Structure 1
């Protein structure tokens, strides 16, 4: 059976570990072609399509988040090209990962669409094809935002394809919308928390994002923003934001009623190879808290929140405490008869958290000297003998230039996995889901779409629903503009995989990254031809292996 396909010059050597068994011959030696023609075999093919999401999103998040206004380098170096732009070239590390994994997803979907005409006809077949087309549209949407126009490949490739031409970004958007229209007509309506599969709400949500993003392009249609608003409202479907913010990302609650679409993980399915089959999301956006000797979760010291990101929150905003671990606790834990004091995890594991000591406290922006005095007095009995009080302005990413120690940047707790599949000594692995779309973001998509469509009062209503849940005062019409929306998205979505796309979409990448990221100057974006490096480069591996040498590189490279 052929397992090797060449997609845009990138060799796909095998499917991901989570779905290898789907591609291998079955125990009864039935070839794949025969397997996919049965209902059960075709379902395995659909499962493979979902499994590819783990390859796209489960690794490091550089292409989603680095080089922005929200996150900057701490102690540990980030990929210099993607995070700072000056050294960004087609062969830069991590540039190729998204390109390759998205085309692996696309080829998997193409196979499912092909076999849909050959497999056993069932009542669920149309929905399965619709789900697959949603996943293909999502992959192309990631590609077109990141690299611009890319080849549109819709055939089930079974022999090496060595030459591809580049479609325009406009053509890619047309294909994305075509796939999503087909998906909307055929997928089911069962709640995502129940079925865990693409439904009409997820399709409406992605259509809203696609139309919103295309609306900013030079080839955007005059009704793109109004369509984006309508699709966002269809995804919202009148549902208010009633889940408390601190419950949205509570471990074990990933499939809550506001989750629209996610990459799902399960301990049982990852137990055979946990260091590869889990994800890395909890590893980033935080300080390094120490390794196995402290019992703390293994953390990187990069993608740390910038001073700008931390300063977005005002007094009373419930998202501050729910997003950041504002106190690092210490407590005793006994393993194999040995008791030692560990950091961080006791917050989740202790049966008596009020008895735990505070090792670190991060003062919020709004604290006055009197607030500090009051807090220290009120918590005197809770303070560890090695307690450290971190004043405002002394725990952001840029502060690592002054003091570069463990716990000297504030940890992000939204993605914490209190029960990872492996100990911290073996690597950063989590089996929590990666939430890609949720209702709070959809409200903000609607807010932006209505603003751009010329209906700001309705857009403001959508944004203020997000602020209502956060416990802060409504924004006013005078405040309501793109910069305010980006600030609100920063507060609501910190650490979620949207920020680079938000800045690129709204045309604010250069201005905001250079204003708020201490590693980036405006000149960093100027490419070899004088053009700005807004798009990421087409990977050099794809260009080298493509026999069509007229395949153009992006401006700036």
Structure 2
């Protein structure tokens, strides 16, 4: 019998969220609770409460600071920044750290968060019919059981389907042994069957705001088919664990699953339900527009209550406070507060989307700006992703100085740019007059200090505007920039159906749309501007035709990955994308960036040593320590290489 240590399948000390049963309600309401017991699921209230917990538990992963590192550091999107520690060095494989089973949150957060949710989902599925719960609600539990198993199998390889009481059964056992199923078994016994039922039984429209629907399940079923197809194909011979042949139990080929992925994604595109693309990429991440029609799944937060914000302090919060604070963007925000001009602290922490709390743990390497986002004039996605200018806000901090003397002896006022990153390389930038703490240089005729994007360093670089802070509970001043974010953290968007179908088409699937057709829907939208974020002014411009014309006639996987990075940069998808396609080594084995000094504008090349076994994360040591096994069996349970 396959069993798993009870620590990871109980829900002790987590919050129970009680789901309002009436379809007329449009929100999820939460009530703290210590743990779930088998008896609790034997009531309608208990089943509904467990269901809402599955949504709440998303906050334990998405928006969590160190999952940001798990999913982004070591890729071609992010590298350790000036204030990094081993939560970041361990994942960079550049010699400053070493990824081990003891590496803490960066190896254990997915494991410890997913298994309680899986067990809760199993408890709901087993008891829902007996208490008269509708099939559509049971389908939500099936979606989440598949969702968490999908995340686990991508992170660790094969994982247990039996948590102690039988495969896919609610565990009531405290026996501390465990056997890992193979990757193929996890997909064919758990993920795919649950998602097929979810597609069939979920409603077209959201039961409550943020709830999963038929089309959410279609997206994840398409992604599961696609990822499993790649696993079966194994183009670069990456090892799997537990060791098994790359064969499907039903005898289907990788091509079969690529076609299934394409068909399911296209079905989602052709039957959108309540979802649609935003007209402008800028609006996808404009904080005042959160929870819009493109968002299919997100880890939600609120500024109305600390309790209902996952326990995260709304005024001052650490990255691990509460049960899932949204502090991910802190990690990728450089310390812009060191910008002092004319003895004035010109740019101060502010609870606004371009500012927030700077932790300077992760920085984008140079190629992000010179290759991934090379097209900055036609394509709005660079402007709608990054903070490209830090503007003066000393007045909001109480300093009444009307203007200060900045670059070239010119005066700037509050709201004017203090430091800007140049879209196009300018060899005339003179960094010798930057004032030291800014790191910016001067070019004639500009009052702001400037930095070429191919001369950034680990200390000062463009922040991630798309995930930035947003609060409505202050009308003046700097607000509360040190509290955990109260925005939803994006997990899945309607746009991804197009890129999943396009990737499947690249892998040989066929149908009514070509890969180029599908990619061009996304690129056409990227060409439309309504606001210039860097210049902070209206910009009504439609470059859709030029964007589509620039798309290659033949799309390959590298191009799909580049488009995915432009769409989902910094959203905790990149490591999983590179691992799925086995392109991690090829696209991220080295990077270029300056050092830790703000005035260092001489980027150096860093080489990573990404080994085949790194394509799986280690099983966390805490799990192994609590298993009643011999040391030899524990060693066999662990992924090889760790």
Band of TM-score, shorter chain: 0.7 to 0.9
**Matches of residues 124-523 of structure 1 in structure 2 within 5 Å?**
125-153=134-162, 154-174=168-188, 175-191=190-206, 195-218=209-232, 219=246, 221=253, 222-237=255-270, 241-271=277-307, 273-275=311-313, 276=322, 278-290=325-337, 294-296=348-350, 297-311=356-370, 312-313=372-373, 314=375, 315-334=377-396, 338-339=398-399, 356-365=415-424, 380=446, 383=447, 387-395=448-456, 399-400=457-458, 404=459, 408-419=460-471, 427=482, 429-455=484-510, 458-471=514-527, 472-474=546-548, 475-516=550-591, 521-522=607-608
Counterpart in the other structure of 2:52: 47
**After the TM superposition, which of the residue ranges 127-136 and 292-301 deviates more from structure 2?**
292-301
Distance (whole Å) between structure 2 residues aligned to residue 476 and residue 62 of structure 1: 31
After superposition, the Cα gap between the structure-2 partners of 1:355 and 1:206, relative to the gap in structure 1 and judged at 3 Å, is same
CA distance in 2, matches of 1:420, 1:12: 37
Q: What RMSD in Å do the two structures reach over aligned CA positions?
A: 3.3
Partner of residue 532, structure 1: 613
Q: Under a length normalisation based on structure 2, what TM-score does the superposition of the two structures give? A: 0.72
Displacement after TM superposition at 1:267 (Å): 2.2
Q: Is the Cα contact below 8 Å between 1:504 and 1:534 reproduced in 2?
A: yes
Gap regions ≥5 residues in structure 2: 18-29, 163-167, 233-245, 314-321, 339-344, 351-355, 403-411, 430-441, 528-545, 594-604
Matched with 1:554 is: 639
Alpha-carbon distance in 2 for matches of 1:241, 1:426: 30
CA contact (8 A) 2:153 2:186 kept: yes
Rate the CA distance shift 1:307–1:46 in 2: closer, same or farther, 3 A.
Answer: same
Offset at residue 42 of structure 1 (A): 2.6
TM-score normalised according to structure 1 size? 0.82
What SS class does the counterpart of residue 163 from structure 1 fall into?
A: coil
Deviations 1:213-266 (A, max 9, x none): 111113363311111111111222266744211111111322111111111222
Q: CA deviation at 1:117?
A: 3.7
CA distance in 2, matches of 1:438, 1:468: 17
Cα distance in 2 between the residues matched to 1:146 and 1:517: 27
Give the distance between the partners of 1:253 and 1:6, measured in 2 at CA.
Answer: 42
Is the CA contact (8 Å cut-off) linking 2:4 and 2:160 kept in structure 1?
no
1:338-393 deviations in whole A, cap 9, x for unaligned? 44689xxxxxxxxxx997221111101466879xxxxx99985xx4xxx3111231
Q: Which has the higher contact order (CA 8 A, sep 6+)?
A: 1
1:116 aligns with 2:128: yes
Pick from 77, 89, 94 the counterpart of residue 70 of structure 1.
77
Report the alpha carbon displacement of residue 517 of structure 1 after superposing the two structures with TM: 6.2
Cα distance in 1 for residues equivalent to 2:335 and 2:266: 40
Relative to structure 1, is the Cα distance of residues 130 and 513 closer, same or farther in structure 2, using a 3 angstrom cutoff?
Answer: same
Aligned residue for 2:624? 543
Distance 1:468 1:319 in 2: 11
Structure with the largest fraction of helix? 1
1:346 is aligned to none
C-alpha deviations, 1:507-557, integer Å up to 9, x for none? 1112222133668635x234xxxx532211111221221224434322222
How many residues align structurally? 508
Structure 1: gaps spanning 5 or more residues:
26-30, 343-352, 371-375
